Amino acid sequence: MKTDNPLLNPYDVPPLDKIKTEHFEPAIDQAIEEAGKKFAALKSETSAPDFANTVVPLDLLFIDIVRIQLVMDTFMGASYSDELVAAEERISKKISAFKKTVYQDEALAKRFKAVAKPSNAEDKTLYKNLSLTFEGEGAFLPPEGQKRIKAIDDKLIGLCSAFVDNLNKGTKQQAVLFTNIEDIAGLPEATVSALRKNAQDAGHKTGWMVIPERLQVDMLLEIAENQNFRQKIFEALSRVGTQLPYDNEPITKDIQKLRHERATMLGYSDYAAYALARTMAGSVPRVNAFMDAVTEKALPKFEESVRTIQAFAANNGGPRTLKPWDLSHWANRYRQKMFDFDANKFSEYLPLDNVTNGFFKTAERIFDVTFHENKTYPRYHDDVRTYDVTDNKTGAPVGIVYADFFARDDSKRGAAWMSQMQQKLPGHPNIVTLNMNLLKPAVDKPTLLSLDEMSTLFHEGGHALHGLLGTNTTHPSLQGPAGAADYAEFFSTVMENWPNQKECLDSFARHFKTGEVLPDDLFEKMERSQNFFAERDVLKVIQNSRRDFAFHTMDPANYTTSKALEQSADFQHPFADHIRSYPLNRWQHPFSSALSDYAAGYYGYDWSKGLAALGYEPFDKKGAFDPDSCQRLAKLFSYGVSREGNHAFEECHGDSLTTDAMANALLKSIGADRSPRVSLAGSRVALG
């Protein structure tokens, strides 16, 4: 039956040019209704429960809901509006209510438990995932317990949204006004006018106002020359979420208690144990072993770098002892002077089209696929470009990429991301989106990418490839790029390695005016400067993860204040203040949603870096496009998330996966594997 709702009519590629906000909710309603019928049939099934008649249909139950939800998510990222946000909220509530109905159903849970555990690898993964979902929703608890889980979840949702709200309002509350021209020394004109506009918007006739958002403050700490300015914005950022009426202290305390209660009800020692059971790392001690191994070498290296930067500052008119708000600035100046690397010059060799094609070419060489632009697909915006991906061996279609690279008005989400628009299913091609927020090209100049932007494109491209290629499974929910973040981020992070290789860069980097290839000396300067002080970021993640774990492992009876907890987890080291950036009460990651992936999951940033460094080692030894290594990596991508991560990695990497091996690979990749040199004679630093 044909309807007016394009989401309810058959299609292969979603008719993005016809879909409107009002189409989503009726389509989801219908999908939930259909799923409800299948659910009723499934739980009243009388034949003896087995994998085929219970687990498989359960996995397929949500397939139409997911199909519509993925299209909606695409629009949420690409062209959101108040109406769409409101619809999405209603829809999310409906879906989560239906999920609870299914996964808290006693009869179905009983049936599921009676299924014999499967033996083949991907069936095992599916069984484990669903088992954890039942468990997490409280399906195996008595009715009283189930009710309590529901109540806790409702409270956590409220607390987390209050936490985020306090951060948003607290950020504005802590805005700092500067009135002396000396305060803003060193800031580029565009930043100065943005700060002036902030001041005017807040009703000040003169002056410049900093609203202490984290990324903006990080950027300003690097470039601002005035120490007083830096100290003020650093301290303002640290106060966000800590002062009335936007003080998060009582909220974090409640969250701590409720998450602990929820986890112990389900049989775990604490929330971290509950969360880690759903990840690749698997347990807190294993992550700690990894982090300790990294710290052992990264910390002395960090100490060495800080001493070097401190001496440089002292010799160039800076403070003798660097405060936390000074370090980024002097590190930046030291880097510029020491490595003489001109990042803008490098950018001139990175026009967007070259980098995009370079990414495609790289993927073609590693994974034996081909990318071809195909302009016939429906799009939601003229900026979007669409590409067919084909398997070179079989000629079969792999999927479609929607590339949406330019910034638009407020209707497009910020930063960069990849998302799946459609899973690969019979009659439905696999579709992924690749999104950035680059400036549109000027008339006489193409969009030139910075090194960071190129790295981001390859990172998101890695997620996209995992989505495109990770379909070697019979179970739709196990297609890439889903799954636990500590594993999922491997596939994106490992791809960041290629544009750092001259061989790869030479295939696409061309000067936008002259067409010449990247000069060797510019490449070498980039290489030398790239890892300078990289250990600081790695250690910041570890410091934050220690707080994260302390928070999520502590017995609430022992929890007094967030400050006390922070101190119990903090590195004891003379320079440690330089790697502490998040007081708990202004740290959004673990508190952004009830059971946020980052709650006891922040370590994932370093874990996936370590895994990616280890995964790239064979290429490092045998060449960026070594055929055997390419094949192994392609196999790992093809699994999606259908195999247990550790096993899949070991199988394809051909070596056992230890936390020491990961730590060593990570340290080597940032040049922190060698024992620190004593580089300072007195306090003078020789500058080349």
Binding map of Zn ion across residues 581-600, x = CB under 5 A, - = no contact: --------------------
Count of residues engaged in binding Zn ion, rule: CB under 5 A:
2
Give 153 or 489: the residue with its C-beta nearer to Zn ion: 489
Among 495, 501, 494, 491, residue whose Cα is nearest residue 530: 501
Output the smallest distance, CB 459 to Zn ion, in A. 6
Distance between CA atoms of 326 and 232, rounded to whole angstroms? 11
Output the smallest distance, CB 489 to Zn ion, in A. 5
Give 252 or 596: the residue with its C-beta nearer to Zn ion: 596
Binders of Zn ion among residues 189 to 228 (CB under 5 A) are none
Cα 200–Cα 219–Cα 525 angle in degrees, nearest 5: 145
Cα 112–Cα 115–Cα 119 angle in degrees, nearest 5: 125
Give 76 or 311: the residue with its C-beta nearer to Zn ion: 76
Output the smallest distance, CB 481 to Zn ion, in A. 9
Output the smallest distance, CB 615 to Zn ion, in A. 15
The strand pairing partners of 373, in sequence order, are 387
Which residue of 362, 492, 497, 638 would you call a contact of Zn ion, by CB under 5 A?
Answer: 492
Give 42 or 485: the residue with its C-beta nearer to Zn ion: 485
The two three-digit tokens of residue 288, written as one number = 């700690």
Output the smallest distance, CB 332 to Zn ion, in A. 25
- DSSP SS3 for 311: helix
Q: Confirm if 434 and 409 have CB atoms less than 8 A apart.
A: no
Q: Confirm if 487 and 644 have CB atoms less than 8 A apart.
A: no
Output the smallest distance, CB 492 to Zn ion, in A. 4
Q: Confirm if 252 and 585 have CB atoms less than 8 A apart.
A: yes
Give 125 or 492: the residue with its C-beta nearer to Zn ion: 492
Give 348 or 489: the residue with its C-beta nearer to Zn ion: 489
Give 489 or 597: the residue with its C-beta nearer to Zn ion: 489
Piece in contact with Zn ion (CB under 5 A), picked from 389-397, 483-491, 657-665, 669-677: 483-491
Give 170 or 480: the residue with its C-beta nearer to Zn ion: 480
Distance between CA atoms of 371 and 465, rounded to whole angstroms? 12
Piece in contact with Zn ion (CB under 5 A), picked from 3-11, 105-113, 216-224, 490-498: 490-498
Place of tokens 């989560």: 96
Give 489 or 617: the residue with its C-beta nearer to Zn ion: 489
Give 153 or 460: the residue with its C-beta nearer to Zn ion: 460
Output the smallest distance, CB 597 to Zn ion, in A. 12
Distance between CA atoms of 171 and 211, rounded to whole angstroms? 6
Q: Looking at beta carbons, which residue is closest to Zn ion?
A: 492
3-state SS, 84-121, equals HHHHHHHHHHHHHHHHHHHHCCHHHHHHHHHCCCCCCH
Binders of Zn ion among residues 357 to 416 (CB under 5 A) are none
Distance between CA atoms of 608 and 97, rounded to whole angstroms? 33
Piece in contact with Zn ion (CB under 5 A), picked from 38-46, 305-313, 465-473, 491-499: 491-499
Piece in contact with Zn ion (CB under 5 A), picked from 85-93, 276-284, 425-433, 487-495: 487-495
Output the smallest distance, CB 463 to Zn ion, in A. 6
Piece in contact with Zn ion (CB under 5 A), picked from 53-61, 368-376, 484-492, 539-547: 484-492
**Region for residue 390 given its phi and psi (left: phi exceeds 0; alpha: psi -120 to 50; beta: otherwise):** beta
Binders of Zn ion among residues 40 to 69 (CB under 5 A) are none
The strand pairing partners of 448, in sequence order, are 351
Output the smallest distance, CB 570 to Zn ion, in A. 28
* Maximum separation of any 2 CA atoms in the chain, in Å: 83
Output the smallest distance, CB 454 to Zn ion, in A. 15
Give 153 or 404: the residue with its C-beta nearer to Zn ion: 404
Output the smallest distance, CB 373 to Zn ion, in A. 25
Output the smallest distance, CB 612 to Zn ion, in A. 11
Distance from the first to the final alpha carbon of the chain: 75
C-beta neighbour count of 154 within 10 angstroms: 11
Distance between CA atoms of 137 and 112, rounded to whole angstroms? 14
Piece in contact with Zn ion (CB under 5 A), picked from 126-134, 193-201, 281-289, 492-500: 492-500
* Eight-state DSSP code of residue 517: B
Output the smallest distance, CB 467 to Zn ion, in A. 12
Give 492 or 507: the residue with its C-beta nearer to Zn ion: 492
Distance between CA atoms of 386 and 400, rounded to whole angstroms? 7
Torsion sign across C-alpha atoms 515, 520, 521, 524: positive
Per-residue exposure over 433-453, b if at least 16 CB sit within 10 Å of its own CB, e if not: bbbbbbeeeeeeeebbbebeb
Q: Confirm if 391 and 429 have CB atoms less than 8 A apart.
A: no
Among 554, 578, 574, 573, residue whose Cα is nearest residue 564: 554
Q: Which amino acid is at 122?
A: E
Give 64 or 489: the residue with its C-beta nearer to Zn ion: 489
Distance between CA atoms of 81 and 453, rounded to whole angstroms? 27
Distance between CA atoms of 237 and 220, rounded to whole angstroms? 12
**Interaction of residue 419 with Zn ion, rule CB under 5 A:** no
Residue ranges binding Zn ion (CB under 5 A): 489, 492
